[in-house]
A = this chain, B = another copy of it.
C-alpha cells in the first residue's frame, strides 16, 4: 500500500464543502471516546459512498490504517489544519441587522476557527450598542481598526444596495477574504477572495423538489 501523506493543494471544491461535515461527525465520535472509524462507517452515517469518503479525506493528508480505518483524533487535526481552522481567524462584520445579529450570536463559529470581534453599521440607533457581547461601531472606523488589528476577514450582512461600497472599503482596509451574505455579485480587486452565501439557491432546489413531489406522474 503506497501512501500519499502529502496534504493536497488544489482539492476539489465539492470535497472542501464536505469536510466540515466529516469534522462534525469526528468530533461527535471523539466525544464518545471512539479511537478509529472506517470509511464504511462514515459513509453509512453520512449517506455517502465509502470510496468518496476515502477520496475526500485523502486531501487532508490523513493516513488510514488497514483493517481498522482512520484514527479519529488525528483526522480531526488533519481536517482542521487543512481548513485552517486550527488557528482562530478574527473577522469584522458589517451590518448589524437581523442577519448580522444572528451571525454574531452563532456560537458554532468557534468550532470553525472564526471569531467575530466587532460589528459595524451606519445606523446611529445601532452604533454603540452591544450585540451578543460585541460592540457595534461606526462603519467609518473600520479601515483604521482593520489595519491596526490585522483583520483579514470581513463578513457582509448589509442590504444589497450597500454591499459593494462595503466591499470596497474592506478591500482598501487590507481585508483579504469576504464572506458575503448580501445578494449581489461583488467586484473586488484581484487578490481578495469572496464567498457568496446565497439562500435563494438552496430554496430554489427545495422548491423544484417540492413541486416534483407534489405533482407526481409527470416525471
Using a CB–CB distance below 8 Å, which chain A residues touch chain B?
Answer: 9-11, 13, 16-21, 24, 46-47, 82-85, 89, 97-99, 101-102, 105-106, 108-109, 112-114, 132, 152-153, 176-177, 179, 183, 185, 191-193, 195, 197-211, 213-214, 218-219
Contacts and interface: CB of A to CB of B under 8 A. Distances in A.
B207 A9 contact: no
Contact of A20 (B13, B99, B106, B204): B204
Nearest to A183: B24
B210 A176 contact: yes
Main secondary structure of the interface of A (DSSP, over half): helix
Contacts of A192: 213
B193 A179 contact: no
A219 B193 CA distance: 16
Copies of this protein in the assembly total: 2
Contact of A177 (B13, B191, B209, B219): B209
A84 B208 contact: yes
Contacts of A24: 183, 200
B152 A208 contact: no
A124 B198 CA distance: 32
17 contacts: A9-B218, A9-B219, A10-B219, A16-B204, A17-B205, A20-B201, A20-B203, A84-B207, A85-B207, A98-B98, A98-B105, A109-B203, A112-B203, A177-B210, A193-B213, A195-B209, A197-B199
A199 to B, nearest CB: 7
A112 B200 contact: yes
